[in-house]
A and B are shown apart, each in its own frame.
Chain A
Amino acid sequence: MRIARTLRTALPVVAALALAVPAAAVASEEFFDRLAEALTTSALDGAFRARLSGTLDLEGYHLPSPAPALFETTRPDLFNPRLSLFLDAQLGARTYVFAQARADRGFDPGDAGSRRRLDEYALRLTPWSDGRLSLQLGKFATIVGNWVNRHGSWDSPFVNAPLPYEHLTGIWDTEAVRSVHQLLLWSHVRPGLSAATLATEKRLRVPVLWGPAYATGLAVSGALGRFRYSTELKNAPLSSRPASWTRAQQWWTYPAVAARLGYAPNPLWAFGVSASTGTYLRPSAGPTLASGLGRGDYRQRVVAADVAFAWHHWQIWAELYRTRFALPRIGDADTLAGYVEAKYKFTPQLFGAVRWNRQVFGTIPDGPRGPVHWGRAVSRLDLAPGYRFTPHVQLKLQYTRQAEPAAAPARTETLATQLTVRF
């Protein structure tokens, strides 16, 4: 019923936007072209060139209670404006610098006031023109998987991220779990968490991957024929939260390592396999470690496969992540998470996308009770139509239905909309 009420309220707004935006946007196309020229500079006879660009996102959410995924709000409706600025600079053909700065209500949408961050900055050197090797140093998105390439609001047909990138597991990164019972409490498999803990524990849990994982480090990548390889040495693993990504000191003590091998037999298909390992506990978890163990014993190990297909107006992606969180003196906590996503352009401007997500959890031994699943299986369906009014203005709507049979409620629905202005 709440969804229906929200729809009745939201539809006139969306309709008004759909009528008003195109007229303004068409008139402003020339403006955006002029702006792009004004934000581009060059020197040294064109050898050095730099460009400032960006996106302005106006997002609205209608959320179930409690808020799913990485949302940090207790309200049913959330408005999240976000300004992203990108700097791309080239010095000749060998040196490339990029940066991304954002002003919003937090890396993950929530009730926080305005925040400003430098999410990415990196220097890339490409010694050979055939791309056989490039070195990248800085703070940048992970090389694992294929979602990162399209995670920007303009490129992704959805408002949110796929399930593996935002569904919280029962693993905390601030404290080492001490028993199976505690893990089952943290993962909500068993009731019993105190009200005080329930109010705050969402900020302690981690997903398999935390969004694009803009951690700090070094990457080596290259192309050899139809193969692509990438390796990275970062200061934090894939599951780490944004606050960990800038902690450069962790880089040398507990580095996270990842690698991806890609194969594209032709432009239609692209396959990839990835692996990653790193400690998932933050330094503050030190006092909670089991005696005789270090943070390095609490590792997240990930093996992943991805595939992408594109032909004419179809694009299809899929990723599968098998993740193991090492829990010393308890066992290994395994989870399998993945999704299949398809996008189709109905007309030059109207597109639609559907994504089916699933995450299941393995078992851990629970004494005489035998093996027990350490998390609640979850399925999620995302449907998203979108419309590009101009090359600079895009509107997306999204309906999400999540099924988590062991939860209460077992089914939840989320509505989202995102208006993006790209410049």
Chain B
Amino acid sequence: MSPRPAVLLAAVLALLPARAGAQATIEGRVTLPKTTPAPVVNQRYEIVAKGGVVATNPPLAVVFLAGPFPKPAPPPVARLIQKDLAFVPALLPVQTGTKVEFPNLDDQYHNIFSYSPPKRFDLGRYRPDERPVPSQTFDVPGLVTLRCDIHEHMRGVVLVLDTPHFVMTDPAGHFRLTGLPPGRYTLKAWLDSKTTREHAVELTDGATLRVDFP
């Protein structure tokens, strides 16, 4: 057996237990808020400024299935990079217990910090080539707002969820959540720190449910 089929087989086998009882799908659309203007970069004393227009993601929502789900083992790892003086992605949903790495792909310092109650930290200033890449484990559910102590306009969000079943919408608000276990749950759409919409759902094996959040 060549190595490639062996890897494929192992992957399929690893997925089988989860797929056997997790066949439901939810798809739909979330009405997203209006696009906000890109931030204005404070360059008052950064007299050598490159560019000046910083692009941000359009508004997106996170759709997730709330329920009593077990914590992952081993903890997953996600990445949230700093590139062109912005967080990419600007919104990162993760499951509780996820370790998030923060690589700096700019050629200058950043200083990421959060004062949000679920996770307070300050990574300090670290070189782009520094290893290990600075990281934090997010083990309390909630909203964590990321900022940069050097670049006032930078803003990112880590949404820590007590569920492995979540997905980001596309810029038009469409979403598709697959591999869901049958049962009764609450489907939630997180739009911002003040807006989370909910919808009760009952999932059955193999069925596809349509849910829109107006």
Contact = CB atoms under 8 A, between A and B. Distances in A.
Do A and B associate with each other?
yes
Contact of A96 (B38, B43, B45): B43
B45 A88 contact: no
Contact of B36 (A37, A96, A100): A37
Contacts of B36: 37
Contacts of A41: 37
B125 A88 contact: no
B156 to A, nearest CB: 13
Contacts of A120: 44
Contacts of B50: 129-131, 223
Contacts, number: 117
Interface string A216-249: 0001011100001010000000000000000000
B41 to A, nearest CB: 7
Given A268-B127, A347-B122, A131 B147 contact: no
A254 interface: no
B127 A46 contact: no
Interface in B29-83: 36-53
Contacts of A126: 49, 52
A409 interface: no
A42 interface: yes
B44 A98 contact: yes
A89 B48 CA distance: 16
B126 to A, nearest CB: 6
Interface stretch (A62-70, A72-80, A180-188, A305-313): A305-313
Given A37-B36, A267-B109, A310-B109, A134 B47 contact: yes
Interface size class of A (residues with CB under 8 A): 35 or more
Contact of B115 (A149, A314, A349): A349
A390 B47 contact: no
A313 B125 CA distance: 7
Given A313-B122, A313-B124, A30 B194 contact: yes
B51 to A, nearest CB: 5
Contacts of A348: 113-115, 120-122
Contact of B53 (A51, A90, A221): A90
B40 A89 contact: yes
A49 interface: yes
Interface of B: 36-53, 107-109, 113-115, 117, 120-122, 124-128, 145, 147, 193-194
Interface of A: 26, 29-30, 37, 40-42, 46, 49-51, 53, 86, 88-90, 92-94, 96, 98, 100, 120, 124, 126, 129-131, 134, 136, 140-141, 143, 148-149, 151, 219, 221-223, 228, 230, 266-268, 310-315, 345, 347-349, 388, 390-391
Given A30-B193, A124-B43, 13 more contacts: A29-B115, A42-B38, A88-B41, A90-B40, A94-B52, A96-B49, A126-B52, A134-B49, A267-B127, A267-B128, A311-B124, A311-B126, A345-B124
